Structure 1
Amino acid sequence: MVDVLGHLGMALIWLSPCWLFIDDQRTAVTVLAVGFWFGMLPDTDLVLSSIDALGVHHHGVVHTVLFVVLAAATVGPLLGLAMRRLFGDTKWLSSEAAARAVPLGVVVVFVTGLSHLFADTLSAPDKSTRLEVLWPLVEGPVVYVDVLYYKSFWATIALFVGGLAFNAAFWYLTHGRSGARARSDPTR
Structure 2
Amino acid sequence: MVDVLGHLGMALIWLAPVWFFTDRPKAALATVFTGFWFGMLPDVDLVISNHVVGIHHHGVFHTVLVVVVFAAIIGPLWGLVVSRLLGGTTWFSREAEKRATTIGFIVVFVTGLSHLFADMLSAPDVSTRIEPFWPIYDGPIVLIDVLWYQSVWATWALFLPGLALNGVLWYRARTRSH
- After superposition, give the CA deviation of every residue in 1:29-65 in whole Å (9 maximum; x if it has no partner): 1001110000000000000100134x21000000000
**Partner amino acid, structure 2, of 1:33:** F
| Unaligned runs of at least 5 residues, structure 2 | none
Once the two structures are superposed, the pairs formed by residues 1-188 of structure 1 within 5 Å of their partners are: 1-53=1-53, 55-88=54-87, 94-98=89-93, 99=96, 100-171=99-170, 174-175=172-173, 180=176
CA–CA distance in structure 1, aligned partners of residues 121 and 166 of structure 2: 21
Q: 2: distance between equivalents of 1:155 and 1:142? A: 20
Residue 176 of structure 1 deviates from its aligned partner by 6.1
Distance of aligned partners of 1:144 and 1:96 in 2 relative to their CA distance in 1, 3 Å threshold: closer
Task: Measure, in 2, the Cα distance between the counterparts of 1:57 and 1:40.
Answer: 16
Q: Distance in 2 between matches of 1:9 and 1:142?
A: 22
- For 2:81 and 2:123, the matched residues in 1 are separated by 37
Deviations for 1:145-181, whole angstroms, at most 9, x for unmatched residues? 1111000001101100010122234345x5265xx3x
CA contact (8 A) 1:17 1:170 kept: no
Q: What's the TM-score once normalised by structure 1's chain length?
A: 0.86
Q: Distance in 2 between matches of 1:145 and 1:16?
A: 24
Q: For the aligned residues, what is the CA RMSD?
A: 1.8
Q: Deviations over 1:116-150 (max 9, x none)?
A: 00011111412100100010111111233111100
- With the length of structure 2 as denominator, give the TM-score of the two structures: 0.91
Percent identical? 59
Letter in 2 for 1:144: L
User: Residue 91 of structure 2: SS of its match in structure 1?
Assistant: helix
Q: 1:30 to 1:132 in 2, by over 3 A?
A: same
Structure 2: how far apart are the matches of 1:67 and 1:166?
28
Instruction: Decide whether the 8 Å contact of 1:124 with 1:147 is kept in 2.
Output: no
